[in-house]
Structure 1
Amino acid sequence: MRKLIYGMNLTLDGYIAAPGDDISWGGPPSDELFRWWLDHERESGLTLYGRKLWEAMSSHWPTGDQQPGATPAEIEFARNWRDTPKVVFSSTIDKVDWNTRLVTGDAIAEITRLKAGDGGPMSIGGATLAGAAMRAGLIDEYAIATHPVLVGGGTPFFTALDGWVGLNLVETRTLPGGVVLTRYETRR
């Protein structure tokens, strides 16, 4: 069975975006944080996206390695992003590119099917999609980069759940700028 990892940058008060889908609170990541996300993405055998995150990622990373001033890590991230198989879950878009498959039907049924298959870990991103997977008990690990900022509202990282979910801490690290990385595995 494949492992499903939900990871994002978030504010100290638990939001991945401030009101109006504003993600400027994170600023440019430190080299160390960017490298950590790159390593996280390289370990993923398949990336699952909700529509909003797909639109944000696909607006930059297909040509991110060709941008003036792209760092070696950004070049590597762009190449890895294009090469990694991706699945986008959306009922409002009709076309995806860059090694990507579109699923318009039942996301939970498809994620359950993908988890039951062979292969490396899968990463999932996008609050709505990940929230549905969280409520269905499909998330195996949470990878969180908490930034020292409070935004007071917006899109929460965690969704409302029907019951408690026990977690085991597997990593903690402090990075430049006061960003704290934490990884938790779900207790089964």
Structure 2
Amino acid sequence: MRKLIYGMNLTLDGYVAAAGDDIGWSGPPSDELFRWWLDHERASGLSLYGRKLWQTMSSHWPTGDRRPGATPAEIEFARNWRDMPKVVFSSTVDRVGWNARLVTGDAVAEITRLKAGDGGPMNIGGATLAGAAVRAGLVDEYVIAAHPVLVGGGTPFFTALDGWVNLDLVETRTFPGGVVLTRYRTRR
């Protein structure tokens, strides 16, 4: 069975986007944090995206390695992003590219099917999509990169749950700029 990992950058008060889907609060990550995310992505076998995160990622990373001033890590991330198999879950997107396939039906059923298969870990991103996976008990690990900013509202990292989810701390790490990364494993 494949492991499902939900990880994103978020504000200290728990939002992945401020009101109006504003992600400007995060600014560019430190080289060290960016490298951590790159290594995390390279260790994955499949990325699962909700519509909003897909639109954000696909608007930048297909050509991220050709942008003026791209760092070696950004070049590597862009190439890895293009090559990584991806599944996009949306009922409003009509086509996807860059080694991705579109799922318009039941996301929880498809994620359950993918988890039951062989392969490396899967990353899930997008608070709405991940929220459905969390409520279905499918997430095995959480990666939280908390940035030292409060935005007071927006899209929360965690959506409402039907019950408690007990976790075990796996890793804590501090990055330049005051970003604290924590990883938790779901206690089964």
Q: TM-score, normalised by structure 2?
A: 0.99
Determine helix, strand or coil for the equivalent of 1:34.
Answer: helix
Q: Deviation of residue 62 (structure 1)?
A: 0.4
Q: Establish whether residue 86 from structure 1 lines up as the match of residue 86 from structure 2.
A: yes
- Unpaired runs of 5+ residues, structure 2, are none
Q: Deviation of residue 114 (structure 1)?
A: 0.1
Q: Give the structure 2 partner of residue 28 of structure 1.
A: 28
Q: Give the structure 2 partner of residue 5 of structure 1.
A: 5
Which amino acid is the alignment partner of residue 4 of structure 1? Answer: L
Distance 1:9 1:154 in 2: 14
Q: Give the structure 1 partner of residue 71 of structure 2.
A: 71
Deviations 1:117-161 (A, max 9, x none): 000000000011000000000000001100011100000000111
Q: Give the structure 1 partner of residue 19 of structure 2.
A: 19
Distance 1:83 1:174 in 2: 29
Q: Deviation of residue 107 (structure 1)?
A: 0.3
Deviations 1:88-137 (A, max 9, x none): 00010110000000000000000000000000000000011000000000
- Unpaired runs of 5+ residues, structure 1, are none
Q: Give the structure 2 partner of residue 58 of structure 1.
A: 58
Determine helix, strand or coil for the equivalent of 2:142.
Answer: strand
Q: Establish whether residue 187 from structure 1 lines up as the match of residue 184 from structure 2.
A: no
Counting only pairs closer than 5 Å after superposition, residues 1-188 of structure 1 correspond to structure 2 as 1-188=1-188
Number of aligned pairs?
A: 188
Q: Deviation of residue 4 (structure 1)?
A: 0.2
Q: Runs of at least 4 residues of structure 1 off by over 2 A?
A: none
Determine helix, strand or coil for the equivalent of 1:142.
Answer: strand
Deviations 1:58-112 (A, max 9, x none): 0010010000100000000000000000000001011000000000000000000
Determine helix, strand or coil for the equivalent of 2:91.
Answer: coil
Distance 2:64 2:4 in 1: 26
Which amino acid is the alignment partner of residue 129 of structure 2? Answer: L
Identity score, percent: 87
Which amino acid is the alignment partner of residue 160 of structure 1? Answer: A
Q: TM-score, normalised by structure 1?
A: 0.99
Question: How large is the RMSD of aligned CA atoms in angstroms?
Answer: 0.4
